[in-house]
Each structure stands twice: as structure tokens, then as C-alpha cells.
Chain A
């Protein structure tokens, strides 16, 4: 994985974990504290979530009348039109936003992978949106899209266009949520892919050039194949991230107008804290969890095995 720019040779040979002291002492005391925390705030909540998903469980403080319903919540979800709506919006969000982000990130990485004055500053500044707080991003976009005083309408009005209530229109609001995400996250893809490009040894490209390979050939036969693992990593990271999108949309549109931007997490939230149906919400949570684990395991197995991490350390 090309998180760190690899050097051609490892500076200190094969040091690190193949140590002769590996069998000395016990790792248990070192692992126990982390395990306890992970158990308390991750493993137990997951199991508990699954248990709750089998109950008709109202939110009210006293616990109310809990009733075991087995797979009832899941069955009800399948019959729930709003559930399918949120799933459709979620998938649409992923399938529209992420390809654009990858395309922009790849394009910019290829274009900016050359020396020009101020290049370093430009590459650093492009990354700033990635570090914009998600909720601040959501609110700023909400601000820019306001009908009377928002920046976008001010601009359009000056061109003579009619005033549009962007976030009051289902289609525009959904598009705005996607644009916000693309704006903020394509530089993230750019950052990963640029690091990957820089990691491609220059002599390979020079040799191809001397052998008469055109720039298109160099791109399709050398650069893209070598960059492929990085692209895949970026894609998986973005999918995992997009699956849990919540805060920026929540502050930008609150899921509205109507249900037009109620993505999966927003509907899960609404089930629990709007409709007070904790059991239904937990069923959705388990569904989302299963999908996320699937992608996370794929990513970890491909790119983040312990050996890869250790290798990164050695090549650092």
C-alpha cells in the first residue's frame, strides 16, 4: 500500500518484528486495556444492538413495554417504503459522488504531478477542504444555498436568473448534498493518488519514453496499472466513509425537504429519536453494520495486513 512514499531500498535491512525476543514475557497485560475499552464501547454495543433489534422497544425512559418480536422489525423494514427510499438515496449518493471524486482526484493527480512554481503550495491548499469540519462544511453549504442572501443566488440573480430555494427542492437538495461531498472529499482521493503517482519510479517512465511509448501508452500501460492498488484503496475508503455519512447532511438539510435527503444513517437516527422506535432503528443499524464490515474486511485484507503495516514501518 502506498500510504508512505516507498524508497527503493529499505534503509536498515530487515530489522523489526522478527525479533528473537518475541517469546519473552506475555503480551496479555499490554493488550488487556485496549481490549476492555473495545469490548465496552464496540463489541458489547454491537451485540446489544442485535438483541434490541429483536424487540419492539420504545425509547421512553422507563423502558416502556418491550416485546420480543423476533425478526419482526426486519420484516417491517422490508415493507417500509421509507426504508427503501433511504437505501435508494444512500446508494445513489455512493454511486454518483464517489465516481466523480475518483475521476477528479485522478485527473488532478495526473495533471499536478509535475514541477511548476507554487506547485507545492497549490497541492497543499487543495487539501484544505478535507480538513474542514464536516458540520461546518454542511452549514456553510446551507448558508451559500440560501434563497435571499446566499452566495449562489446572489450570483445567479446578478445574471438575471430567478430566485431558487435550493434546499427546498427535493432534487436540488439531494444534488447539493452530493456536491458538498464531492467538493470536500475529492481532494482526499487526490491526496492518496498523488502519493501513489510520486511513488512510481521515474526510471520506468523514462525507459518507456526512450523506447518510444506515447504518453497515452505510458498512462494506460504503466501508470494506471501501477496505480491500480491505490485507486482501489481510495475507492474502498471512500465507500466505507460514504456508508456512514451523517453529520454534514444532518446540519445541511436535516434530511429534508420531506424525506428527499434522508440517507440511510439519517433514517436510522429518525427511527430512534423521531419515531422512538429503538428496535427498528437497531435493525437498520445491524443491516448497515453488516455491509460496512464486508467492505472494511475487504480493505483490511487487501491493504492493511499486519505485514503491510510493518513493511511500511521498515520503509519509512
Chain B
């Protein structure tokens, strides 16, 4: 009985502690979400938050801002293209790495994993020089390609476990029937690994969606993506906090929706280096 009471007290204390931690962790997020509904002038004047201030004015300004909307569209396009490219190419490579026997297989898999973890800062300067020489700087193609540099290794890493679980009897049966390797990949592996493809695609999209440094250096007015456009709302004499918060909220919606919907795969997805700008 006394033990049970003690346990109850501990659990209650833990719950209180958890709520306190939660308050701290969610506070900055709440700030962003709330201030998107206030006018810049109200924020800058330092007024206390009150319900009367709530307005869609900052959102209206964001949606009327043609450069920002162009950047959002670019972000969607680059995200989709880079996701399609890396999932396509990455699925093939993951299949090649899991269902064949060949020398150097481990070394190759290792290097794909190591590649995922290289700092973007180490690559961006030479990518800038290369892209400028070839003439693909500030193009959707260029930034898509740059985003594939982290998404391809990422997708491979995500998909390997999904391909290894496929039962070999399917392959053996297919081989007996004279099915080619390409046929096996297309008819057996892609359908069976479909959940994995979806998970990898979602995270690849978010990787691209959040990316900042490549977009900052490798794009200009034409192919600029949303994170760079949003960051330009603040700095120097421009302090449009309300618009910044509104635009950020728009950016956050797909990320939060996807990640809450993907609870089961979050740990693998994040540990692989997802959600990093």
C-alpha cells in the first residue's frame, strides 16, 4: 500500500515535470505561430499579446508577396523533383546493394553512408564554381541536383532495410520463370517495398524543403527557395516579424503534418540525418 502511494506520487511528480519541460520546448513554437497573426507594427511597438490584435494581415501580405510566393513554388518544385530523382535512383542502388553478391559491396555501402554525413559547407564553394562554369547556377535544375547530393545517399540508407526483408523465394521463383533483374526490381521489389518508398520520399522532401545553405549560395532571383526568401524578411532595416512568422508557419505545416503522421518511422528517419537544414 505504501509502495503504491509512493509510486503514485512519483508518477505525479514526473507528469508535472513533463508539463514544465513541454512548456519550455513549445514556447518558441507558440511564439512563431501566434505572431503570424499580429501586425508588424503591433509587434514592434512591444504591446502585450491580446486577442484583439489577431488579424490575417500578415498572412495577406505574405500571400501578396510575389517573390515569396515564387520562392514557395520553387521550394515545392525542387522538393518534388529532388525527391523523385533520389527515390528513383536510390531505390535502384539499394536494390543493387542488398540483392547481389559482388566484391566491394560493403565498401560501396559504407561510402554512401559517409557521403550522407559530409558538411554542406565543404561542398558548396566548389559547387558554386562548377555551377557557374556550366551555367546552371540559379536554375531549378542546379538546385535540384545539389539537393540530390544529400538525398540520394539518404534514400539508399533508408531503403536498405526494406529491401532486405523481401523473401528470397519470390526472387527464386521469378528467376525460374526467366524474369530479368530489372523485372524483379519493378514487379517484386518496388511493390513490396512501397511503404519504405513512401517514408523515404517524405523525408527526402523535408530535407529539401528545409535546406538553406545550398539555396543561399547556388540560387538567385530565379530559383530561390522559400527558406532563403523568408530569411530575407529580417535583417538590416527590414524587421517584418509578423510576415516572417506567418511565412514560417506556412513552411512548418507540411513538416509537422508529415512527421506526426510518421511517428513509427521518425527515429530511423531522423537518425539518418533527416530534418537538417
Contact = CB atoms under 8 A, between A and B. Distances in A.
6 contacts: A3-B268, A30-B96, A114-B11, A131-B259, A135-B231, A305-B110
B93 A191 contact: no
A128 B118 contact: no
Contact of A22 (B101, B130, B166, B259): B101
Contacts of B14: 111-112, 114, 116
B96 A49 contact: no
A33 B152 CA distance: 10
Given A27-B100, A195-B267, A300-B110, A45 B123 contact: yes
Nearest to B142: A41
Given A19-B168, A31-B96, A136-B248, A25 B180 contact: yes
Interface stretch (B15-23, B53-61, B65-73): B15-23
A128 B125 contact: no
Contacts, number: 332
Given A16-B165, A42-B115, A135 B212 contact: yes
Given A191-B266, A289-B119, A45 B231 contact: no
B275 interface: yes
Q: Is the interface of B mostly helix, strand, loop or mixed?
A: helix
A297 B107 CA distance: 11
A128 B256 contact: yes
Interface residues of B, number: 113
A173 to B, nearest CB: 16
A181 interface: no
Contacts of A143: 31, 35, 234, 241, 244-245
Interface in A263-316: 264-265, 268-269, 272-273, 278, 281-282, 285-286, 288-289, 292-293, 295-297, 299-301, 304-306, 309-310, 312-314, 316
Given A19-B168, A19-B171, A292 B119 contact: yes
A313 to B, nearest CB: 3
Nearest to A16: B164
Contacts of A15: 165-168
Contacts of B125: 49, 52, 268, 272, 278, 281-282, 285
Interface in B152-196: 152-153, 156-157, 160-168, 171-172, 175, 180-182, 185
Contact of A151 (B31, B127, B182): B31
Taking each of A37, A119, A122, which has the highest tally of chain B beta carbons within 10 Å of its own beta carbon? A37
A112 B10 CA distance: 11
A243 interface: yes
Contacts of B31: 140, 143-144, 151
A21 B175 contact: yes
Interface of A: 3-4, 12, 15-31, 33-35, 37-38, 40-42, 44-46, 48-49, 52, 61, 108, 111-112, 114, 116-119, 122, 124-137, 139-144, 148-149, 151, 154, 183, 187-188, 191-192, 195, 233, 237, 240-241, 243-244, 246-248, 250-251, 254, 264-265, 268-269, 272-273, 278, 281-282, 285-286, 288-289, 292-293, 295-297, 299-301, 304-306, 309-310, 312-314, 316
Nearest to A132: B29
Interface of B: 11, 14-15, 17-19, 21-22, 24-29, 31-32, 35, 43-46, 48, 85, 88-90, 92-93, 95-102, 105-106, 108-110, 112-115, 117-123, 125-130, 132, 145-146, 148-149, 152-153, 156-157, 160-168, 171-172, 175, 180-182, 185, 210, 212-213, 216-217, 227, 230-231, 234-235, 241, 244-245, 248, 251-252, 255-256, 259-260, 263, 266-268, 270-271, 273, 275-277
Contacts of B98: 16-17, 310
A41 B227 contact: no
B277 A41 contact: no
B89 A37 contact: yes
Contacts of A192: 267, 271
A52 B126 contact: yes
Contacts of A35: 93
B115 to A, nearest CB: 5
B123 A42 contact: yes
Nearest to A293: B114
